[in-house]
Structure 1
Amino acid sequence: MPNLARLSCALLVGALFMLPSLRAAPAAIAPRPALMAPRAASSLMLDVAQVGSGYVAVGERGQILRSADGKKWQQVPVPVRAALTAISFVDARNGWAVGHDAVILSTRNGGASWALQQFEPEIEKPLLDVLFIDGRRGFAVGAFGLFLRTVDGGASWSPVNAPVVDEDELNLHAIVRLGNDDLLIVGEQGRLLLSTDAGRSWSKQVSPMEATVFAAAAYGSSGALICGLRGQAWLSKAVRDGGWQAIATGSGQALHACAVFGRSQALLAGAEGTVLLADLARRQAQRLKSPAAGTWSAIAVGDGSDAAVLAGERGLHLLKRPSGS
């Protein structure tokens, strides 16, 4: 009899599930605040940016940290526990962070506190980068062609209607603003997308890479440096015209981050503790001693400083550039 009772109950539940009018709507997933972790600065960090005279970094489990000097870091409260992948600041006070669960956060006080603008775990697409070109206009890109924009400082976000993005739904890894205000998106399978009208329209560019491009940095008045799988790095002095030239990196490791500084130098970093100093005029790179093992995800080069902050698998580390660089 007990078995018959369980069977009857199962059949009843199944019948109710098949009736849309009686089926309960799935419960909404509520965001949970990030846990404060004593060793957060040594955990996985995915992006770092210079903000004013200091730095802000984001990483796993919703962790956001601030530092005045790149050495000592302090974690701040965050309303979500999803991994945060990227940040963008337009000045010393106003910034945004994005991550898994299509999370978008904003700050109005230099990263001391954060407000939740978007949380959509049901779409199962992480955001991988964010760029604001002023206090109101911004873009966020992510997995499977996820591409959002805002014109009100992030109060509302809407999908970008761009056929060159929608046709393949490839992962979009980074978006940067060039010296002439053009916008460049890089991504899976060497994808390069360019906008010359502040993001209103986008065109596919001929790419020098077939492999995934992970990062990009503005170079000069209208150029860019890009890097990605198998140690590839390429430089163009004018992205609209193409003319990409290879940088001899001497590495086969994936490069996840690049930052241009000075007139023609760059730092590149990636898998297996790879850190490279590139002479862009000569299109050559030399390997530097890594401050820690593991994969690096991001680089922030301080203005007027001989130091840079690396973010990655082993946390946040200050890197002293060689003298004369």
Structure 2
Amino acid sequence: MSSRSSFITSLAPLCIIGGLLYAALYIKPAGGGTALEPPVIAPRDHFYAMVQAAAGQFWAVGNDGKVVLGDGRGRWQVQASGTRAHLQAVDAWDARHALAVGNEGTVLSTGDGGQTWVKVAAPVSATANKLMRVQALPEGQAVAVGEFNTVLLGSAYGRHWERLTPEQDVAWYGLAVRGSRITVAGEFGRLMQSDDLGRSWRAITTPTEAHLTAVAFADERRGVAVGLNGTVLLSEDGGRSWQAVGQGGEEHLYDVSWDGRRFVACGDRGLLLESVDGRAWKALDAALGEARNFLWFSRVVPGAEGLLLAGATLGVVHGDRFISLASEAAGTSGPASAAPR
């Protein structure tokens, strides 16, 4: 090869690199095409709570401060929450007024149907301040519970809060309010109750040391509390005493509710249980199929169309059918793993 050819060959790599640099710095891509919009509900989204505020209006909240508003037909829109903290619970007074609470002592309030969510200061602990549950009460009042013995009473649709309990090293995960009676359930089988909307409290002895995650009442006397390792407790005296009842499994249970005719509990591996009396339980066949093994549900709430479920997906149980409320928004996704809360 001649010296001239060798010289040209040696310049080839430099010419290629120079051309790439020129293209990167000076050549702009031509406009055109449509930007790919991210799905409203992505495969990795986890929703910890859901509520039906009005006919055809659903709020769901979850990881990274996500708040979505749905119409019950799989169409959802993201609402700006102004936070990246995980949101653990949501409840609503009506189609305009709602509350969401979560990690880092987060309390969000809306009075315009979620067009704006406002972060509200609440007297939570600086030591541990995750809020786990919230329940809207008549006349714009609300109760919220969480870590470090936090029980809060809200007013003015969640714009003002007062603390009802001193700071102590105990976490509350479950909440049920009937009239002026508040029942809270928490770690190591703890329960406590107030008959005067939180002005005074009594500790309740239970037959378990498992963490209790939720509590619900059918009436003034019958109540059920559920928790980890398949724990189910029954009260027949308004929550003053509790007994353990077997439900035939070891899966963690995260929520329980009364839908007007039965108790329904949910948990890991798509577990759904029902009981008319709170004592005898059976699996609720919601047509989940094999997907049941990959799902978990952290909330089950009665809705106008059936039982609302939030967790690895959003759905409603109508009769013996499970209908995904997120399918059109989320598209097809693979197995969903449990999310840190």
Residue type at the aligned position of 2:170: L
Of the structure 1 ranges 120-129 and 220-229, higher mean CA displacement relative to structure 2 is found in 120-129
Hey, what does 2:265 align to over in structure 1?
A: 268
Per the alignment, in what secondary structure is the counterpart of residue 58 of structure 1? Answer: strand
Per the alignment, in what secondary structure is the counterpart of residue 118 of structure 1? Answer: coil
Hey, what does 2:170 align to over in structure 1?
A: 170
For residues 192-227 of structure 1, the C-alpha deviation after alignment (integer angstroms, 9 at most, x for no partner) is 111101121111112233211001122123432210
Conserved? CA contact 1:184–1:194, under 8 Å: yes
| Pick aligned residue for 1:115 from 105, 113, 118 | 118
Shift of the alpha carbon at 1:112? 4.0
Q: What is the alpha-carbon distance in structure 1 between the residues aligned to residue 125 and residue 75 of structure 2?
A: 33
Residue type at the aligned position of 1:160: L
Q: How does 1:170-209 map to 2 (within 5 A)?
A: 170-178=170-178, 180-209=179-208
Q: What is the alpha-carbon distance in structure 2 between the residues aligned to residue 255 and residue 315 of structure 1?
A: 17
Conserved? CA contact 1:101–1:123, under 8 Å: no
Q: What is the alpha-carbon distance in structure 1 between the residues aligned to residue 158 and residue 115 of structure 2?
A: 18
Unaligned runs of 5+ in 2: 1-36, 322-341
Conserved? CA contact 1:247–1:285, under 8 Å: no
Hey, what does 2:49 align to over in structure 1?
A: 47
Shift of the alpha carbon at 1:59? 0.2
Hey, what does 1:12 align to over in structure 2?
A: none
Q: What is the alpha-carbon distance in structure 2 between the residues aligned to residue 37 and residue 205 of structure 1?
A: 48
Hey, what does 2:296 align to over in structure 1?
A: 295
Hey, what does 1:285 align to over in structure 2?
A: 282
Unaligned runs of 5+ in 1: 1-35
Per the alignment, in what secondary structure is the counterpart of residue 40 of structure 1? Answer: coil
| Pick aligned residue for 2:144 from 137, 140, 143 | 140
CA RMSD of aligned residues (A): 2.6
Q: What is the alpha-carbon distance in structure 1 between the residues aligned to residue 64 and residue 278 of structure 2?
A: 40
Which TM-score applies when normalising by structure 1?
0.76
Which TM-score applies when normalising by structure 2?
0.73
Hey, what does 1:67 align to over in structure 2?
A: 70
For residues 222-281 of structure 1, the C-alpha deviation after alignment (integer angstroms, 9 at most, x for no partner) is 432210011121222332542x34443221101001121133x12211112212222326
Conserved? CA contact 1:213–1:228, under 8 Å: yes
* Identity %, equivalent residues: 26
Per the alignment, in what secondary structure is the counterpart of residue 133 of structure 2? Answer: strand
1:101 aligns with 2:100: no
Q: What is the alpha-carbon distance in structure 2 between the residues aligned to residue 71 and residue 149 of structure 1?
A: 34
Residue type at the aligned position of 2:84: R
Of the structure 1 ranges 50-59 and 133-142, higher mean CA displacement relative to structure 2 is found in 133-142
Conserved? CA contact 2:234–2:279, under 8 Å: no
For residues 50-71 of structure 1, the C-alpha deviation after alignment (integer angstroms, 9 at most, x for no partner) is 2122321110011111222263
Hey, what does 2:59 align to over in structure 1?
A: 56
| Pick aligned residue for 1:253 from 251, 254, 266 | 251
Residue type at the aligned position of 1:48: M
Sort the Cα spacing of 1:109 and 1:237 in 2 relative to 1 into closer, same or farther, 3 A: farther
Matched positions, count: 278
Sort the Cα spacing of 1:175 and 1:241 in 2 relative to 1 into closer, same or farther, 3 A: closer
